[in-house]
Amino acid sequence: MTEPEAPTAGVAMTAIGVAVIRARESIRSDRLYDDPLARHFADAARRSFGATPEGEQRWARLEALADTFFEGRSVGVRLVDDRMVAAVAAGCRQIVILGAGLDTRAFRLTLPADVRFFEIDLPELFAFKEPVLAAAGVAPKHDRRVIAGDLRRNWTEPLRANGFRADVPTYWVDEGSLGYLSRGDALRVAESLTELSAPGSQFGAGRFHVDRNLPHYTELGRLVGGEHHGEGRDLSGLGPDAESWLTARGWRTSFRSWDDLVAALGRPAAIGDPEVGLVLAVRE
- CA dist 80 and 109 (Å) reads 11
- Is residue 196 involved in binding ligand SAM (CB under 6 A)? no
Strands (E) in 75-223, as ranges, are 94-98, 116-121, 143-148, 170-174, 202-207
Between 72 and 200, whose beta carbon lies closer to ligand SAM? 72
The angle, 0 to 180 degrees and rounded to 10, between the axes of the packed helices 53-89 and 14-26 is 70
- Is residue 203 involved in binding ligand SAM (CB under 6 A)? no
Binders of ligand SAM among 80-99, rule CB under 6 A?
99
- Is residue 100 involved in binding ligand SAM (CB under 6 A)? yes
Binders of ligand SAM among 121-140, rule CB under 6 A?
121-122, 125
Cβ-Cβ contacts under 8 Å for 56 (sequence gap 6 or more): 49, 50
- Nearest distance in Å: CB 148, ligand SAM: 9
Residue nearest to ligand SAM (CB): 101
List the one residue from 6, 8, 18, 115 that touches ligand SAM (CB under 6 A): 18
List the one residue from 4, 6, 11, 108 that touches ligand SAM (CB under 6 A): 11
CA distances to 151, 202, 243 from 254, in Å: 26, 11, 8
- Is residue 103 involved in binding ligand SAM (CB under 6 A)? yes
Between 28 and 252, whose beta carbon lies closer to ligand SAM? 28
Amino acid at 181: L
Between 158 and 200, whose beta carbon lies closer to ligand SAM? 158
CA distances to 4, 214, 225, 255, 271 from 276, in Å: 38, 17, 27, 9, 8
Binding site for ligand SAM (CB under 6 A): 11-12, 14-15, 18, 99-103, 121-122, 125, 150-152, 175-177, 180-181
